Amino acid sequence: MEIFTSWPSWAHAEGPLSAALPAATVDDLRTAVAFAGRKHGVQQRPTGRPYTEHLLEALEVAVTGARLSDRDVLVAIVLHDVLEDTSCTEGEVARRFGPEVSAMVRWVTKPRGGSKADYLASLVKAPPRAVLVKLSDRVSNVQQLQRMPWRFQRRYYLQTVAYIMPLAGAHPWFAQWFDEWRCRWRRVERWPGQ
C-alpha cells in the first residue's frame, strides 16, 4: 500500500507537480495552496502537524497516485476543507477559483449541524469529480490511521468501509488502494465496540 507523505510543503510539491501538469495548472495550485494556507492559518491536524500538510497529501494522492490532471478537481482538493473549517464562504471560493471548484468543495463539506453519517451517505449523489476530491481527502486521512487513538481508528475505519469504499468502486486506482488498505486494517473489525 503506497503512502503519500512526500510533499509536506509547497517547496516539496512544486517540482513533481511541474513535471506532471501544465504550467498554468501548477500556477493555479500554487495560488490555491497559498489561499488555503491563509484561510487555515495556524490550524493543525489531530497529530499536531500543520494543516496544510493534509491538503498537500491529498493533492499528492491525486497527482502521483491516481494520476489526476483535471485543474478544477486538483484545486478543489487543495480547498476541500475551507468551507467546513474556516470562515471562507462559497462565494469567495467561486470568485477566486471558479464555480466548478466551488461546487465540488460544497459537495465535500459537511453541513453545519448535520450528522457525519448523513453527510457521508449523501456523497452517493455527488458528481464524479466531487467524489474524486473526497476519495483523495480520505486516502490522506486514513493512510496513517495508526497515529490516532484506537476508538477513533475503529470509527473512522468503519465509516470508510461503509461509505467511502463504495464510492471508490467506479475509480480503479482508488478501489485498489482502498482494498489494500482494508486488508491491512481488517483487524479493526474484530475490536470490541466503542
- Residue 116's identity, in one-letter code, is K
Predicted model pTM:
0.94
Q: What is the mean pLDDT, run by run of 10 residues, along the chain of 194 residues?
A: 95 98 98 97 86 96 98 98 95 98 97 90 96 98 87 90 96 97 86 57
Quick check: helix, strand or coil at residue 93? helix
At 10 the pLDDT is 97
State the catalytic residues. 84-85
Residues 6+ apart with CB under 8 A from 139: 4, 58, 61, 65, 174, 177, 178, 181
At 145 the pLDDT is 87
At 8 the pLDDT is 95
CATH class of the 10-190 domain in this structure: mainly alpha
